[in-house]
Amino acid sequence: MQSSKIGIDAGGTLIKVAYTENESAGYRSFRSRDMDEAAAWIENDFDHPSICITGGKSKVLASKLHTSAMTVVEFDATMKGIDFLAHEQERTLGDGYLFVNVGTGTSIHYVIDGRQERVGGSGIGGGTLLGLAYLLTGMRDYDTIVQTAGDGDRGQVDLKVRDIFEGALPPISGDLTASNFGKTEMMPGRTPANADILASLIGLIGEVVVTVSTNMAAHNNADAIVYIGSSLRSNPLLQETIETYTKLAGKTPIFLDNGAYSGAVGALLSLDEK
């Protein structure tokens, strides 16, 4: 049996767990709908652990555990986890930075002098990806959606700037999106491939996230934007879109290893502050 400390971020889509065992860290995640499985794993694999939980479903998960657990504010835990992971990975965030949590939805926070403030957000996020992917293609499994999108061509569905300025030199990059899904009206009688649809959907989500985030960064005079969240998990197309468009906006995108576990790491660290 393991004797450890456990930090948990119980979100709307995933339950992320960070734990220490013999001075080494481990990570594990469960789907939120599999909360009973997560609780059983904690009860069976750990011997009287110290537990701290954050996230929207923290109270529900705590009620399923026989071991008492402390709770902390999600956004503060996330900031704490980001700072820890950035230091561990030797990433410089600057005096003031934004962190953007692309989870079920998207939440944007400005961090300065060890304090965070929520400055914006959007209902566009991983829940949007799962919901629209199902409505458009019938697919439900996250990994299948992301893998299928990796084979897609956004140019088959999205209207690019170069498509509008046909035969002329556009005033901005022709590779930029003029209209997400805007090319579909030119396809009478033809339905795009699922891979192309999903690639365009992920592109739309990434571009919306970046537009809102970079505007908030400009408003707060922040250069670095740390992107975290479960929606970036094994999703290179979303990360690539976010990275490209953030740089085009003149800001510095930062992606941390295990960044999706920032909230769980922050909850874990909070156990040492009791």
Sequence-ordered alpha helix ranges (H) in 230-274:
236-248, 262-270
Task: Report the amino acid identity of residue 39.
Answer: A
> Mean of the pLDDT values across residues 120-146?
96
Per DSSP bridges, beta strands 252-255 and 224-228 are parallel
Whether the CB-CB separation of 207 and 177 falls below 8 Å is answered with yes
Sheet containing 252-255: give its strands across.
115-122, 106-112, 96-102, 224-228, 252-255
CATH number of the domain at 126-255, please?
Answer: 3.30.420.40
Do 119 and 109 contact (CB within 8 A), yes or no? Answer: yes
CA distances from 89 to 68, 79, 92, 208 (A): 32, 15, 9, 28
For the chain, the structural domain boundaries read: 5-75+262-273, 126-255
Both tokens of 211, joined, read 């537009």
How is residue 140 annotated by DSSP? -
Active-site residue, from 37, 43, 74, 88: 74
Per-residue confidence (pLDDT) for residue 274, from 0 to 100: 63
CB 41 within 8 A of CB 24: no
Q: How many angstroms from the chain centroid is the CA of residue 41?
A: 24
Residue carrying structure tokens 């509008």: 164
Class of domain 5-75+262-273: alpha beta
Those residues with Cβ within 8 angstroms of residue 23's Cβ, 6 or more apart along the chain or in another chain: none
Please give the structure tokens belonging to residue 156: 């088959």
Condensed to tens digits (0 to 9), the pLDDT of residues 170-197 reads 777 768 888 999 888 777 767 899 999 9
18-47 mean pLDDT: 89
Would the CATH topology of 5-75+262-273 be identical to that of 126-255? yes
Q: Is the pLDDT of residue 1 over 60?
A: no
In the chain, the DSSP E strands lie at 5-10, 14-21, 24-31, 50-54, 70-71, 96-102, 106-112, 115-122, 159-160, 177-179, 224-228, 252-255
Q: Is 273 a catalytic residue?
A: no
Q: pTM here? A: 0.90
| Percent of the chain whose predicted confidence (pLDDT) is above 90 | 76
Neighbours of 236 (CB within 10 A): 13
How many CB atoms are closer than 10 A to CB 51? 25
DSSP H or E run through 139:
none
pLDDT tens-digit readout, 82-101 = 999 999 999 999 889 999 99
Average pLDDT score over the chain: 92
